[in-house]
Structure 1
Amino acid sequence: MNRTTLSLAGTVVALAVVTGAAVLTAPQAGRADTPAPAARKPVERSTLACPAPTSSDYGSTTYTVFTPETGTEGASRRGTAQLAPAAQDGAGGDEGARGTPEAFVELLKPGSPVVKESSKADTPALVGTADGILAPGFSAQLTTVVDAGPGRGLLGTACQAPDTEFWFPGVSTGKDRQDYVHLTNPDDDAAVVDLELYDAKGLLETPAGDNITVPARSTTAVLLSTLTDDPTQNLTLHAVARSGRIGAAVQAADRELGSDWLPASADPAATAMLPGIPKDAGAVRLVLHATGREDVDLALRVSTPSGTITPAGHESVRVRGGTTTAVDLGDIAQDEVGSLMLRPTEKDATAPFTASIRVVRGAGDRQESAFVAAADPVGGRAVSPDNRREGSALFLTAPEKGARVRITSSPVGGGKAVSETVTVKGGTTLDTPLPQPSSGKGAFAVTLEPVSGGPVYAVRMLAPPSNSIQRFTLQTLSDDRGTVSVPRAEQDLSVLTAG
């Protein structure tokens, strides 16, 4: 035989052996076509991007990092977790040349949140990394108090999992606002980002927003008013990474209404939920953007503790394709905590949109504002790392079926966690106090786990007591991505058959 004949014979023998093994271990008749369900496994590594908190000389920031104790079954019993500084204003570079930055704060074990405070005006953006047992549900929160100046107020934001696309309806380049978008690159390769702005007529010309390079493990802050010559109050920002991935967040400062972080909205969809309107909200502004070419016609509903209502005078709204629309809803809360639900007026409509609301509390020169973007549901589990014994509240909405949710509070500094289970009736919003740990150092992390029923949306409001401005901040709580779906392998002999 020549070499070709030998090779062919060897291939046939090897194929026969593989086929024989497959036949010997093939599933029983009647089960071969039944797909095995995917398994959920704890993630092995988590990455977060945290923006620089403030440049004000009058600000102080509390950082809280936390990994839940539950949900780590099957994870490595060892692990590390930390927040480390990123370079500022794009001053990144080769990671090997700069060396590994020293940890700003470290988390040592799950179930025990760690807190660090900073009052420095030049506190940098941070990159969070966690692995092993500390990776599933690894979360971090920035809470900043600015006592004076145009950015005064209480600002809160969760550090983000990096991504490639972000929508921010509700930004402004108006003369009364100063909005910065913070772009943080947590990876070891540079990212290239485009920034687009949309007004009531459509896409604006923003050549300065194209091809913004964010070097490795660094952050860049862009003042939105530098992207356009025309001051505009209600805009939508679209941040897209051409290469790499980033965390993105907008810090919005208003001369009269204080400041807070405007979070990115959930992915554009045909419906949206904006939970967490406080009962004493004096003014609510809704900003919507139709992300496709189709017009969007939406019905507005408000979920309250007693049921779902249609707000008088604001039954519906239309948004033209590719444009941004703003609607002032006034005191839509009417002394009841609520959540805004947006649904297409036509049952089968699928045109995507995104939305956010600005909530204002207080009166006169004591007003303060916060933002809520279209949110994802709690999912399997959600985490709020930073909560206080005074001034913390939780708003839960079950837009469809009723639901039961287990709330667990884990104190800073160790100590015993406490849990309780609450019931949210279908179509309602529940304002519930948080379980108070009997031990610890005052602050505590909260974990939400749906037990039964339909989807649940959650917002944590932090409003510490104050004799002056009604400081508050709102953060939606969505799935912490602590697990990943791992498909189960099935034998398939068709891969051995030539097409």
Structure 2
Amino acid sequence: MSPRTVPSTARRWAAAGAGSALLAVTAAGIAAASLHGPLAAPLELGIPAASVPAGDFVAECPRDVRLPAGTAAESGATDPDFAAGSDSARTAVRATVLSDVAARIPGAALTRADGTAIRRISPALPEGHAAQEAATSEEGLSGLSAVSVSGIDEARAAVLRVQPLGGLKSQAGMVRSYLAGDGDLAGLAVSRCQDPANEQWLVGASTLVGRTALLIVSNPSPSASSVDVELFGAEGQVEAGALRGIALAPGESTSIVLAGVAAGEPALGVRIASAGAPVTAVIQQSVLRGLTAGGIDFIEPGARPSQSQVVPGVAVQSAAATGKLTDQRGYADAAPELHVAVPGRQDAVLRVRAFGPAGEVPLPGGGAATAAAGTTARIALDALPVGDYTIAVEADQPVAAGVRLVRGTAGERPVDAAWASSGERLGSQHLLMVPELAVSRIAFGAPEGAAEISLRPVAADGTIGAARTLSTAAGTTAVQDVRDLGAGTVAVLVGAGGDPVYAAQVLTAGASGVSSIGVPPATGGRRDVAVEIGH
């Protein structure tokens, strides 16, 4: 079986047979009861649930960083021409596939969006064998192992597809790293390759002069999708009829220069909703101040709007360094800043709190603010001392949130920028990919209470190390340097217990490179789907 194979015809016939059998048994029971007189009370059958095995694991990385060029880019049309923004740029894609508890490695392949092969990671298991539920290997042993590939120099979008095992979706991950030391796109940009979804929120894109926000929406699914894009700016929701009903065929993507439809916005909240197939979405954000590069990063989807948002992995440099930057002409946005999008029709009253390694750090005004309905508000964080923080936002209306980070110093030295997205509470097991070309540290924020985190390093040869425990006190942020987990660590299995804890990777390179990526969701398994039986 190829990793792209859908459930077989035999499975569909089996499901149909099960439904027919259920009809026959139900009819026979009612007939038998009628022979002995009327039923004492109506028989409550309800709607039966059919167990549907999980499909392939699918994750997509955006294409390498490129500079929009030509009149199409200036007009904001989709699919503009692109040009390289650096002569020294390097890119690397890394992927890891985890076994099941019986140490079976599922079939996995890395392809381009059009389905052409990049790399076969592991051979597909026979379909019958893969469908079996197994707790031990053929030798009677149980345990986890992995297979990884690194250093893949692929400029185009990459899709990872992994075969399910035992009716459960396999656990895997992929990450793209970009690093350049010169040109308009100098800096570090890292993307955690995404699972497709039907609704996504990206917060913080800037379309001011010299800032380029390129929205990339892709459909890695085998069926078509229709996409709507909504934008929330400083003065309210942006009307953009051209961003409604964008048709994406299987394997197709589109790129939209957001300045063409929402120019002059210091921070945008972007909602992507798809009907039909789920899609992936990312914003390539770059800054150019005159002839000086000011940073490059991917803005990734965060948590959906709610009255509570948590943004982990907020790295703040010294206030002195930031002050020297912002004192320069054109550098007003070279400072850490919280962005809050309010998609509803009522203003949101906000309470913002910052939790560092030693506990909560007070914000000016007690962190109180109001964000107008339909807008994306900005709240300065440059008063925070140097350190790693978790930013918590409480609101009386649903909001989405993200934080802009900046790393660099004044003068002729380069400056880089990054965007941290809000996250979800950690669960029992997540697979964090460790990016190449950068130094990684994992920041864990526990805004409500104490938590314990389990960390198991995954080595390049597929071995999984012993668990290490990291404790986080209530209202603090704890940091784990990935280098301390062992040389050659390509991924980390992370689990959490206790009160809610959130996490993100903070990535650095050289004197100024910075990026931040969130934690992928825990992999889901078999689903129960309600099946209505009619006539």
TM class by shorter chain equals 0.7 to 0.9
**What 5-or-longer segments of structure 2 have no aligned partner?**
1-24, 36-43, 67-83, 124-143, 323-334
**1:45 aligns to 2:56 (yes or no):** yes
Partner of 2:117: 102
**1:472 aligns to 2:514 (yes or no):** yes
Question: TM-score scaled by structure 2?
Answer: 0.74
Q: SS in structure 2 opposite 1:208?
A: helix
Aligned in 2, Cα 1:41/1:446: closer, same or farther, shift over 3 Å? farther
Aligned-partner Cα distance in 1 for 2:521–2:295: 29
**1:212 aligns to 2:246 (yes or no):** yes
Aligned-partner Cα distance in 2 for 1:245–1:316: 37
Question: 2:202·2:300 contact (CA, 8 Å) conserved in 1?
Answer: yes
Please point out which of 271, 279, 296 is paired with 1:238: 271
One-letter amino acid of the structure 2 residue matched with residue 319 of structure 1? A
Please point out which of 338, 354, 359 is paired with 1:307: 359
Q: SS in structure 2 opposite 1:15?
A: helix
Moved over 3 A (4+): 10-14, 16-20, 40-44, 107-110, 387-390, 413-416, 435-439, 482-489
Trace 1:30-69 onto structure 2 (pairs within 5 A): 43-55=54-66, 56=84, 58=87, 59-69=89-99
Aligned in 2, Cα 1:11/1:370: closer, same or farther, shift over 3 Å? closer
1:409-457 deviation per Cα after TM superposition (whole angstroms, max 9, x unaligned): 1111345524311111111111222364656xx352111111x311211
How much does 1:184 deviate?
Answer: 0.9
How much does 1:127 deviate?
Answer: 2.2
1:354-401 deviation per Cα after TM superposition (whole angstroms, max 9, x unaligned): 011101112124221111111112222222212569722111111222
Trace 1:338-487 onto structure 2 (pairs within 5 A): 338-344=389-395, 349=396, 351-364=397-410, 365-387=413-435, 391-415=439-463, 417-434=465-482, 436=484, 442-450=488-496, 452-464=497-509, 466=510, 469-483=511-525
Trace 1:70-469 onto structure 2 (pairs within 5 A): 72-73=100-101, 77=104, 79-87=106-114, 100-104=115-119, 106-107=121-122, 110-118=145-153, 123-133=155-165, 135-228=169-262, 230-255=263-288, 256-280=293-317, 282=322, 283-313=335-365, 315-332=367-384, 334-344=385-395, 349=396, 351-364=397-410, 365-387=413-435, 391-415=439-463, 417-434=465-482, 436=484, 442-450=488-496, 452-464=497-509, 466=510, 469=511
How much does 1:45 deviate?
Answer: 2.3
Q: SS in structure 2 opposite 1:151?
A: coil
Question: 1:68·1:447 contact (CA, 8 Å) conserved in 2?
Answer: no
How much does 1:478 deviate?
Answer: 4.2
Cα RMSD, aligned residues only: 3.3
Question: 1:418·1:436 contact (CA, 8 Å) conserved in 2?
Answer: no
Q: SS in structure 2 opposite 1:103?
A: strand
Question: 1:42·1:482 contact (CA, 8 Å) conserved in 2?
Answer: no
How much does 1:173 deviate?
Answer: 1.8
How much does 1:221 deviate?
Answer: 1.4
Aligned-partner Cα distance in 2 for 1:435–1:488: 47
1:235-280 deviation per Cα after TM superposition (whole angstroms, max 9, x unaligned): 2222221332210000101114210011112010001101112252
Larger displacement relative to structure 2 (124-133 or 453-462): 124-133
Q: SS in structure 2 opposite 1:352?
A: strand
Q: SS in structure 1 opposite 2:441?
A: strand
Tell me the percent identity: 21
Question: 2:190·2:297 contact (CA, 8 Å) conserved in 1?
Answer: yes
How much does 1:197 deviate?
Answer: 1.8
Aligned-partner Cα distance in 2 for 1:222–1:13: 59
Aligned in 2, Cα 1:380/1:85: closer, same or farther, shift over 3 Å? same
Q: SS in structure 2 opposite 1:225?
A: helix
Aligned-partner Cα distance in 2 for 1:369–1:136: 34
How much does 1:310 deviate?
Answer: 2.5
Aligned-partner Cα distance in 2 for 1:377–1:360: 25
Aligned in 2, Cα 1:191/1:15: closer, same or farther, shift over 3 Å? same
1:304-324 deviation per Cα after TM superposition (whole angstroms, max 9, x unaligned): 122223213452111111112
Aligned in 2, Cα 1:195/1:486: closer, same or farther, shift over 3 Å? closer
Larger displacement relative to structure 2 (410-419 or 143-152): 410-419
Aligned-partner Cα distance in 2 for 1:357–1:19: 67
One-letter amino acid of the structure 2 residue matched with residue 355 of structure 1? A
Aligned-partner Cα distance in 2 for 1:201–1:390: 38
One-letter amino acid of the structure 1 residue matched with residue 503 of structure 2? A
Partner of 1:5: none
One-letter amino acid of the structure 2 residue matched with residue 258 of structure 1? G
Question: 1:301·1:308 contact (CA, 8 Å) conserved in 2?
Answer: yes
Question: 2:169·2:525 contact (CA, 8 Å) conserved in 1?
Answer: no
Aligned-partner Cα distance in 2 for 1:263–1:481: 19
Q: SS in structure 2 opposite 1:67?
A: strand
Aligned residues: 436
Q: SS in structure 2 opposite 1:330?
A: coil
Aligned-partner Cα distance in 1 for 2:274–2:354: 35
Aligned-partner Cα distance in 1 for 2:311–2:31: 59
Aligned-partner Cα distance in 2 for 1:129–1:68: 13
Q: SS in structure 2 opposite 1:271?
A: strand
How much does 1:290 deviate?
Answer: 0.8
**What 5-or-longer segments of structure 1 have no aligned partner?**
1-9, 21-31, 33-37, 88-99, 490-494
Question: 1:172·1:178 contact (CA, 8 Å) conserved in 2?
Answer: yes
Question: TM-score scaled by structure 1?
Answer: 0.79
Aligned-partner Cα distance in 2 for 1:130–1:139: 10
